[in-house]
Chains A and B, each alone.
Chain A
């Protein structure tokens, strides 16, 4: 098995303890940080995504893979940021749980999956008012804003947040995409409140955003 295939397999199998050493070994063998990321680690995450979609991997296993990816990035990121390795992040995602809702499990999972798939993530926390979302978007200028709600009773706050983002003119140029998700949220609800996208689960959300930004 090639070094890159081994790295991909390690991500898939969640070899948390070994991955840093494997990445260092790959670098020592002369592979570039970009190659290691794109042709090794990301390939592993792609397999994880496919296996999860096929109900062949359980969420704790997926999370272990994502944590393994985070470990690998601890070694790679300084090299990638040196400039000679021109690997761009796939996009910037701003995440928050809407006003009145202080649940963070789903959002944390989504954050982990975005990071593991090469996105820069800004997590602005829980119980975030529509205005605070607007302010954070102006400050961080993300490509995508993700709204989370766990409670049926806080879904109206999600609608108010989307409305506030639109009213502030932040969607006028069509660049900023709004994606919503959470246990009671549906695709129909996403349409009703004028969100751009709906993510059924964390990995689905990542796939939807990948396609949106690619398109």
Chain B
């Protein structure tokens, strides 16, 4: 498929300049890595390493070779194989991921905001399993379980209730082995997890140009098991990155490519997805924003640059809002963001259901995002052109002044228009007569319908017991 190239996305000539700068930056400046084993592997591969400063510089040829080994296709497997995700999608579309790590929860049950609890994690998993356009799930951050093992408790809940692929954000280096073990239990063993990775891990740079132990260890462990990684950079323009978005895009792309290159140096062929998550700092308040005009431009530019320059899977925020509530602003922000990054060519649009710059999630927003995803999916696909879609025969037989409602062609296609279940398309009079039900009320109806459904646990009693034992061990070992 051909992507539309909006004016803000860099031109081919500008992208070529950006690519040159990326290689130059990593060759001349380099990055700092706090992981001796990884640094040693890179030195062995030909990187220039300064042991005293932990700086690693990548000769261009080495980096090109490593980037050349990044797989073009990635499988994100699911508990239920019907939900397996093959990237890139054969139909040219994208996949949608939910928001990750949110400590805040906008509860549809009472309409109140509260801290995320472990039961909310289960609710989230069940919703994702029931929404057609939400393809995989990240977990929020529960506060009513021990803090040091919150990620382990949350993953257990996800594996119990979510039939779709799960993305894992470890909260500490100590929890990484437990997270892998839980995934292996769900998959039926380490070899099975490697063949069908039910989970993938996020690994992040510490912008600018720094890499901490935990994230590099995630790569080491993922490479060992054949589990995909989402190589992530989260620059905030004006704070941890240049205030001008071009520089932020360059920095994000460079950091992402280093993470992917590290994986290839450790284990060639390790599946990886470039994941630039672009923020801009509000210079009046210091808050990092994910849906400002600049952040949206940056996300689209970063996606388009990486996609066209390196031809690898790319992932960024497609949803989310800076608004703290699921109000009109939140809908405007996510609509603009999702459309822009979808048209820029992103394979995965993340952040579904999140508001307040990824620090809160809302089930009702997730249900609305499900509709938006369906709509944007169709918008990105474009229109097909054929005699059938032109209704060429009907046009040739058309009587001026007539209509198409009785045509077989209309009958055949009348159900194909996208219909979001949460959208209201009544006249004002009808809307008033029918109780002024707005999109959020419709989303609440869908929420009630989903939660009233059957949500049996997906794991056997035996595996469930093993998981419970593992979580208890983690609580004990990690000092809870």
Contacts and interface: CB of A to CB of B under 8 A. Distances in A.
A125 to B, nearest CB: 14
A109 interface: yes
A156 B147 contact: yes
A155 B206 CA distance: 18
Interface string B137-154: 000010100011011000
A203 to B, nearest CB: 10
A202 B281 CA distance: 14
B35 to A, nearest CB: 14
Interface in A71-116: 100, 102-103, 105-106, 109
Contact of B147 (A105, A159, A183, A192): A159
Given A100-B171, A157-B147, A192-B115, A109 B286 contact: yes
B323 interface: no
Interface stretch (A19-27, A29-37, A55-63, A172-180): A55-63
Contacts of B285: 55, 59, 201
A152 interface: yes
A127 to B, nearest CB: 9
A64 B47 CA distance: 39
A55 B284 CA distance: 6
Nearest to B285: A201
Given A105-B240, A184-B103, A153 B284 contact: no
B114 to A, nearest CB: 9
Contacts of A60: 238, 283
A106 B286 contact: yes
A55 B359 CA distance: 24
Nearest to A201: B286
Contacts of A160: 147
B283 A152 contact: no
A159 B151 CA distance: 17
Nearest to A99: B172
Interface in A146-203: 151-157, 159-160, 183-184, 189, 192, 201-202
B211 to A, nearest CB: 11
B240 A58 contact: no
A58 B103 contact: no
A59 B115 contact: no
A77 to B, nearest CB: 28
Contacts of A157: 147
Interface residues on B, range: 20 to 34
B71 interface: no
A184 B359 contact: yes
B59 to A, nearest CB: 28
A101 to B, nearest CB: 10
Interface in B231-254: 238-240
B147 A102 contact: no
Contacts, number: 58
B287 interface: yes
A157 B172 CA distance: 11
Contacts of A102: 206, 212
A55 B115 CA distance: 30
B102 interface: yes
B356 to A, nearest CB: 9
Contacts of B101: 151-153
A152 B359 contact: yes
Interface string B118-151: 0000000000000000000000010100011011
Contacts of A100: 171-172
A8 B212 CA distance: 43
A153 B214 CA distance: 13
B447 to A, nearest CB: 24
B325 to A, nearest CB: 14
A76 to B, nearest CB: 28
A152 B150 contact: no
Kindly name the residue among A156, A157, A202 whose own CB sees the greatest number of chain B CB atoms within 10 A.
A156
Contacts of B171: 100, 153-154
Contacts of A52: 284
B169 interface: yes
Given A153-B171, A156-B148, A201-B285, 18 more contacts: A58-B283, A59-B283, A59-B284, A59-B285, A60-B283, A102-B206, A105-B239, A106-B286, A153-B150, A153-B151, A155-B141, A155-B147, A156-B143, A159-B147, A183-B287, A184-B103, A192-B115, A202-B286
27 contacts: A52-B284, A55-B284, A58-B283, A58-B284, A59-B285, A60-B238, A60-B283, A100-B171, A106-B286, A151-B101, A152-B102, A153-B151, A153-B169, A153-B171, A153-B172, A154-B171, A155-B141, A155-B147, A157-B147, A159-B147, A160-B147, A183-B287, A183-B357, A183-B359, A184-B359, A201-B285, A201-B286
Interface of A: 52, 55, 58-60, 100, 102-103, 105-106, 109, 151-157, 159-160, 183-184, 189, 192, 201-202
Q: Give 6 closest A-B pairs by Cβ, nearest first.
A: A156-B147, A153-B171, A58-B283, A152-B103, A152-B101, A55-B284
